[in-house]
Amino acid sequence: MTRYDRQIAVPGVGPKGQARLSAARVLVVGAGGLGSAVIPALAAAGVGYLTIVDTDTVALSNLHRQTLFREAEIGQPKAPLAASRAAEMNPDCRTLGLTLRLDPANAPALIAEADLVIDAADSFAVTYTLSDLCKASGKPLISASVLGRSGYAGAFCGGAPSVRSVFPDLPAQAASCATAGVLGPAVAALGAVQAQMALTLLIGLSPSPLGRLVTLDMERWHFGGFDFRNAEEVPGFGFLAAMQIEPGDLLIDLRPPGSVATLPGAVSLSPEALAQWPIPPGRVVLCCSSGLRAWRGASALAARGATRLALLADGQ
């Protein structure tokens, strides 16, 4: 009897499927609520290598859904704690916790070492950055988002359409768990869906979840979803890291003056001012904290004929 016997007994898994899990390398971006469901599930299943990336620390207001952590750990970085907890759950799982903010500069190297990427970060900029890079490299991306009592999980890239094919634009307003609230079981349920999608792909079970989105509405008690395998790719604005700004770029900071520290060399403008702002000949990089205001600004400039546009989510 081994710890994986009941898993190996599932039709289609067997010893070969378990061996695939043991050899698999998974990048998990985000060790919050979704990560608290995904990380233990993958570790317990015998995934061989987990790299966990998160820039945040444990906070009291998040513990109702971030069940990997304890009150005694408040203020400590989440990524190494999550990695340590996963290794304790299963010594077969080798883990690495990286306390860093994932961005377009450091993401390519991390993705290159992974067989599959899980987006559990709750960030517009991270989701679209991972999607663009996974699409270019052919790596599967399992992404999810939850607010209140509802959300979704989907399997993108890796031969399927990217996030942009399903979500070509950002919402009109940026809601977050801090502003809109969230119930822990809804997060855990969709984190479990992410883990199941990941295991299905790593083992090679059929049917594949690639090109499939699962929705959950715990207010109306409804599971749904749809197939997007034939969805068309939609061009959009790409994100940059601050270190990728080039000498000829014009950096526009769209945040209210004094709300955060303006980036060096940036011109401070309000989003409304872009309607009359003369478009320069070089590349324009629009900056805000989450990426939403920058996306809206880029959309306004594109409607006026601007073609060289990029976004920067500063995260302050």
Distances (CA, A) of 43 to 19, 40, 143, 144, 223: 14, 5, 18, 19, 26
Cα–Cα distance measured from residue 288 to residue 303, given in angstroms and rounded to the nearest whole number: 20
Cα–Cα distance measured from residue 315 to residue 25, given in angstroms and rounded to the nearest whole number: 28
Among residues 93, 134, 177, 287, the one annotated as catalytic is 177
| Residue among 103, 193, 116 at smallest CA distance from 151 | 193
3-state secondary structure 188-208: HHHHHHHHHHHHHHHHCCCCC
Backbone angles phi, psi at 179, to 5 degrees: -95, -35
- Where b means 16+ CB within 10 Å and e means fewer, 99-114 reads bebbbbeebeebbeeb
Q: Which amino acid is at 140?
A: P
Q: Which amino acid is at 114?
A: A
Cα–Cα distance measured from residue 64 to residue 179, given in angstroms and rounded to the nearest whole number: 16
Reply yes or no on whether 93 is catalytic.
no
Q: Which amino acid is at 107?
A: A
SS3 254: coil
**Residues catalogued as catalytic:** 177
